[in-house]
Amino acid sequence: MNQGFETLAIHAGQEADPHTGAVVPPIYAVSTYKQDGVGGLRAGYEYSRSANPTRTALEEALAAVEGGVRGLAFASGLAAEDTLLRTVCKPGDHVVIPDDAYGGTYRLFSRVFREWGVSFDPVPLGDLDAVRAAVRPETKAIWVETPTNPLLNVADVAALADVAHDGGAVLVVDNTFASPYLQQPLSLGADVAVHSTTKYVGGHSDVVGGALVTRSVDLGERLAYHQNAMGAVAGPFDAWLTLRGLKTLGVRMDRHCDNAERVVDLLLSHPKVVQVLYPGLPEHPGHEIAAKQMRRFGGMVSFRVEGGEEAAVEICNRAKLFTLGESLGGVESLIEHPGRMTHASAAGSPLEVPADLVRLSVGIETVDDLLADLSEALG
Catalytic residue among 28, 45, 102, 200: 102
Is the CB of 75 or the CB of 291 nearer to ligand PLP?
A: 75
56 touches ligand PLP (CB under 6 A) = no
Considering only 66, 82, 121, 145, the residue that binds ligand PLP (CB under 6 A) is 145
- Residue type (1 letter), 358: V
Considering only 174, 191, 261, 373, the residue that binds ligand PLP (CB under 6 A) is 174
Least gap, CB of 75 to ligand PLP (angstroms): 8
Reply yes or no on whether 47 is catalytic: no
**In 282-351, which residue ranges form alpha helices assigned H by DSSP?**
287-293, 308-318
| Rounded Cα gap, residues 75 and 2, in angstroms | 31
| Rounded Cα gap, residues 359 and 117, in angstroms | 34
- Residue type (1 letter), 8: L
Reply yes or no on whether 368 is catalytic: no
Stretch that binds ligand PLP, among 101-109, 110-118, 237-245, 291-299 (CB under 6 A): 101-109
Residue count, binding to ligand PLP (CB under 6 A): 15
Is the CB of 139 or the CB of 176 nearer to ligand PLP?
A: 176
Least gap, CB of 287 to ligand PLP (angstroms): 20
Considering only 57, 61, 65, 78, the residue that binds ligand PLP (CB under 6 A) is 78
Where b means 16+ CB within 10 Å and e means fewer, 117-129 reads: ebbbbbbebbebe
Catalytic residue among 17, 49, 86, 255: 49
Residues 311-350 that bind ligand PLP (CB under 6 A): none
Is the CB of 79 or the CB of 311 nearer to ligand PLP?
A: 79
Catalytic residue among 199, 215, 252, 296: 199
Considering only 13, 53, 77, 180, the residue that binds ligand PLP (CB under 6 A) is 77
Residues 122/153, Cβ–Cβ less than 8 Å: no
Residue 288: partners with Cβ closer than 8 Å, 6 or more residues away: none
**In 45-114, which residue ranges form alpha helices assigned H by DSSP?**
53-65, 77-88, 103-107
196 touches ligand PLP (CB under 6 A) = yes
Question: What secondary structure does DSSP assign to 149-214, as a single string?
Answer: TTT-----HHHHHHHHHHTT-EEEEE-TTTHHHH--GGGGT-SEEEEETTTTTT-SSS---EEEEE
Residue 348: partners with Cβ closer than 8 Å, 6 or more residues away: none
Least gap, CB of 178 to ligand PLP (angstroms): 10
Stretch that binds ligand PLP, among 61-69, 76-84, 179-187, 310-318 (CB under 6 A): 76-84
- Which letter does DSSP use for residue 110 in this model? I
104 touches ligand PLP (CB under 6 A) = yes
Query: Can you give the binding site for ligand PLP, defined by CB under 6 A?
Result: 76-78, 102, 104-105, 145, 149, 174, 176-177, 196, 198, 208, 210
Catalogue the active-site residues: 49, 102, 174, 199
